[in-house]
Amino acid sequence: MTTARIASLGQEYPIGKILCIGRNYAEHIKELGNETPEAPVIFMKPATSVIGDGGAIVIPSYSKDCHHEAELAALIGTKGKNIPAERALEHVAGYGVAIDLTLRDVQAELKKKGLPWDIAKGFDTACPLSSFTPAAQVSDPQDLRIHLTVNGQTRQDGSTSLMIHTVRDIICYMSGIFTLEPGDVILTGTPAGVSAIVPGDELVAEIPGVARLRASVK
């Protein structure tokens, strides 16, 4: 069973829903030529898409354009439905870093046809995920740096302060649709700088003071 781990506390949660926000940073919206949505754009990944630190990314044969998207991940520790924004962070058990892998060519074709993105976002190994730091040790999730390198070269370097929808607002919004349960993971969107990865690449995603994650592309 795939689990999310708060390393310093020795706690493990079976991963439930992986709920993701798309188009949550203005510069990322611009770089992909998308429109700014009025409400958060939500999609999901299965727990089977998760690999841990040091894991291997396998790009499916049906894609020739896989992109990295480094993100702040929030682990839900307390069940909630219709959670008010002012209480939202009380439901977070920990914070980590994730890489939302996207088959950009497959996604583009699906979007043209008005179809769901599942096979572009949910394939096996599509969600490299770090262990989590206790939420109490993160004073402000809207004041964190997100940094990603590929083969030692910086590709993404942004701040959670640039989110269109804050972590509080995301949890509030999502809990109005889905009951959030312990073990659910929320990916909060990616800053600008996404680009393609290929076999042989080495990725390092880091939120300083929170989490670090390494992954290689097979």
Q: In the prediction, which pLDDT does 1 show?
A: 56
Which DSSP string corresponds to 32-66? Answer: TTPPPPSS-EEEEE-GGGEE-TTEEE---TT-S-E
Angstrom distances, CA of residue 141 to CA of 96, 133, 137: 10, 12, 10
Contact of 77 with 94, CB cutoff 8 Å: yes
Question: pLDDT (tens digit, 0 to 9) for every residue of the chain, 218 residues total?
Answer: 589 999 888 899 999 999 999 889 877 667 767 777 778 899 999 999 999 999 999 999 999 999 999 999 999 999 999 999 999 999 999 999 999 999 999 999 999 999 999 999 999 999 999 999 999 999 999 999 999 999 999 999 999 999 999 999 999 999 999 999 999 999 999 998 999 999 999 999 999 999 999 999 99
Position 101 scores a pLDDT of 98
* pLDDT at 194 (0 to 100): 94
H/E element holding 102? Answer: strand 102-103
Q: What is the pLDDT of residue 23?
A: 84
Closest CA to 15 of 186, 194, 210, 151: 186
Domains of the chain, earliest start first = 3-217 (3.90.850.10)
* CA distance linking residue 183 with residue 208, whole number of Å: 23
Place of tokens 């592309």: 217
Residue 26's pLDDT is 75
Strand, coil or helix: 180:
strand
10 Å CB burial of residue 140 (0-12, 13-18, 19+) is: exposed
How far is the CA of 133 from the CAs of 58, 114, 175, 199, in angstroms? 27, 38, 22, 30
Q: Which of 193, 181, 8, 203 is nearest to 78 (CA)?
A: 181
pTM value is 0.96
